[in-house]
A and B are shown apart, each in its own frame.
Chain A
Amino acid sequence: MEVLLNNLDSFGSGLRLTVALALTSFSGALAIGLVIAAFRVSPVPPLRAAGAFYVETIRNIPPLVLLLVFYFGFPDIGIVYSEFVSAALILAIYTAAFVGEAIRAGINTVSRGQAEAARAIGLTFTQTLGLVVMPQALRSVVPPLGNLFIALVKNTSLASVISVAELTFISKRLITSTAQGLLVFLGTAIAYLILTLPAGWVIGRIEQKVSIRR
């Protein structure tokens, strides 16, 4: 137990960084994901193609590869960001591909009549999407987005590779430098559960709130 108690401070700061990283990149992922989803359902073919290209490319490359290309490779072309920003940006870009797909799937669940009615009363495509379809789509999208958030919390661990001192980084350091890896491992598992379990609960609540009772 000692190894955990002695390092409570490090764990605390690691936990805070993990949360900060997860929240930052999830906001980014939502923003990019919305744009991607809009691209993918737009009536403009090049935009649809661009959206599909984004999703297929990002989804099929391991996020760690993306991170290393960005962090170690891009300085060669003059793009240098700090460790935290690099990690947040790549996690946002990666997660956005899945967020985009989830939102698109959500849009597809909105019944056709809704859009037809919107157009009948003279709304443009953007208005139809923004005022009628999207708000309804987002409701059905809450559970998959919640799951994506939980997956993102776990993926923040990748940032440890570029020396962001989040939970995994702290834990890895203790696992490799002490003989009590098992304790450290269990402690970290609990720390991640502390993050993901409430997240799951909150998602459940939101889901109940926004769900349409028929």
Chain B
Amino acid sequence: MVAPALGDALGPRGRRRARTASVLAVLAIGFVVYIALRRFAEAGQLDWDEWEPLTQRDVIRFFGKGLLHTMQAASVSLVLASAFGMVLALGRLSPSLALRTIARSYVEFFRGFPLILLIVFSFFTLPRLGIELTRFWSVCVALILYNAAVLGEIFRAGILSLDRGQTEAASAIGLRRRQAMRLVILPQSFRRMTPTIVSQFVTLLKDTSLAFVVGYEELLRTGQIAGEFYKNGLQSLIVVALIFLVVNFTLSRIARRLEVRQRKRFRTGTIAVAGPEDLVTVGLVDPAKS
């Protein structure tokens, strides 16, 4: 679909032009793909010998294990970061100034920090401070510390996105603040946040690849080990990229579908985390409310 801002359907001349442009574009894209493939072929990188090891059953199982480790770290972190993030969100919305300040400082500190360094810190320095963790948990701790800050912001936005009327109605029927939060606000906002949480899982899966730097055997490291063994580093890394692509694309699609369904059901925007990751703008899609 053409963006709405760019006006209505093309006229006859416009259509002709678009057709010509299409043909040219297809040719140009085809040419680029051809150049790329030829480059691979000339270097012998398309030879079956280079790819064949990656089709062996044991190697597939090996990659599967890497993917599993990636999934494990990401899902454990998502669950725990969500819980922690909820605490942070409630802290930021609390009537107590002290709580708000603490929660806010936490979020600001951890959001502005490169995750890779947090992982290095958690792996190398925490043990020296007397906090013993396995490799898996030192990766998870870093992911949790960081994602709790991000999810906290998402939750906060989700809670704020609810119509004021909900809170007012809750207090009108005599619910206390805490009750209103638990019985009225959270259940509704949680539903709205589901798509965003799924997107955040995609981000987490990508972030888990950083655990590579401390030797956690996730998908990327798996690919590297295989590449070293079969002397086909390029092919192994490309396969890793493709696995990430397929898994994350599927999850992104699910997130989008959930979002569309919710828009229909609630006739409101969901919480948009504009951009990727961390990213960031936690705000509302619906401009009327922002």
Binding site for B on A (CB under 8 A): 40-47, 50, 56-57, 59-66, 68-69, 72-74, 76-79, 98, 101-102, 104-105, 107-112, 114-116, 118-119, 125, 128-129, 133, 137, 143-144, 147-148, 150-151, 154-158, 160-161, 168, 171-172, 175-176, 179, 181-182, 185, 188-189, 192-193, 196-197
* Contacting pair A196 B112 (CB below 8 A): yes
Known: A102-B274, A116-B7. A43 touches B18 (CB 8 A): yes
A112 and B7 within 8 A (CB): yes
Q: Considering the complex, give the chain A residue whose CB is closest to the CB of B109.
A: A189
Establish whether residues B6 and A44, one from each chain, have CB atoms under 8 Å apart when the complex forms: no
Knowing A46-B26, A60-B249, A102-B274, the reply to whether A68 touches B224 (Cβ < 8 A) is yes
B254: CB under 8 A from chain A?
Answer: no
8 contacts between A and B (CB under 8 A): A40-B3, A46-B26, A61-B244, A68-B237, A98-B275, A118-B7, A168-B117, A189-B113
Task: Compute the total of residue contacts between A and B using a CB distance below 8 Å.
Answer: 206
Stretch at the interface among B51-59, B169-177, B190-198, B202-210: B202-210
Contacts A60-B252, A155-B114, A181-B128 known; list 16 others, CB within 8 Å: A43-B6, A59-B248, A61-B244, A62-B220, A64-B220, A72-B234, A105-B274, A115-B5, A129-B6, A150-B112, A151-B277, A157-B115, A161-B116, A175-B121, A181-B124, A182-B125
A77 to B234, CA, bound (A): 9
The interface residues of chain B lying within 8 Å CB-to-CB of A125 are 6, 14
**What residue in chain B is nearest A177 (Cβ atoms)?**
B124
Q: Does B284 contact A (CB under 8 A)?
A: no
- Are B280 and A43 neighbours in the complex by a CB distance under 8 Å? no
User: Quick check: A181 and B121 within 8 Å, CB to CB?
Assistant: yes
Q: How far is the CA of A154 from the CA of B121 in the complex (A)?
A: 15
Tell me the bound Cα distance from A79 to B45 in angstroms.
13
The CB with the most chain B CB atoms within 10 A, among A72, A108, A137, A189, is that of A189
Contact A68 B45 (CB under 8 A): no
Cross-chain contact B128 with A179 (CB below 8 angstroms): yes
Q: A68-B237, A147-B279, A189-B109 are in contact. Are A172 and B120 (CB under 8 A)?
A: yes
Contact of A72 among B14, B233, B248 (CB under 8 A): B233
**Using Cβ atoms and an 8 Å threshold, which residues of chain A touch B26?**
46
Q: Do A66 and B241 form a contact, CB below 8 Å, given A151-B278, A168-B116?
A: yes
Q: When chains A and B are docked, how far (Å) is the Cα of A125 from the Cα of B234?
A: 41
Residue of B nearest to A197 (CB): B112
Known A46-B22, A69-B238; judge A154-B6 contact (CB<8 A): no
Chain B hits for A197, CB < 8 A: 112
**Partner-A contacts on B (CB < 8 A):** 2-8, 10, 14, 18, 21-22, 25-26, 29, 39-40, 42-43, 45, 109, 112-117, 120-121, 124-125, 128-129, 202, 205-207, 209-210, 212-213, 220, 224, 233-234, 237-238, 240-241, 244-245, 248-249, 252, 274-281, 287
A137 to B25, CA, bound (A): 25
Partner of B278, one of A61, A63, A154: A154
Closest to A172 in B: B120
- The answer to whether B109 touches A98, judged by C-beta atoms less than 8 angstroms apart, is no
Task: Let me know if A50 and B25 touch, CB within 8 A.
Answer: yes
Q: Which residues of B contact A181 (CB under 8 A)?
A: 121, 124-125, 128
- Set of chain A residues within 8 Å of B113, measured between Cβ atoms: 154, 189, 192
Docked-complex contact B238 and A148, CB < 8 angstroms: no
Given A115-B7, A155-B114, A188-B117; A76-B233 close (CB under 8 Å)? yes
Nearest CB in chain B: distance from A146 CB, A: 9
Which of A62, A98, A128 is the one whose CB lies under 8 Å from B279?
A98
Minimal beta-carbon separation of B91 from chain A (angstroms): 20
Contacts of B5 in A (CB 8 A): 41, 107-112, 114-115, 133, 137
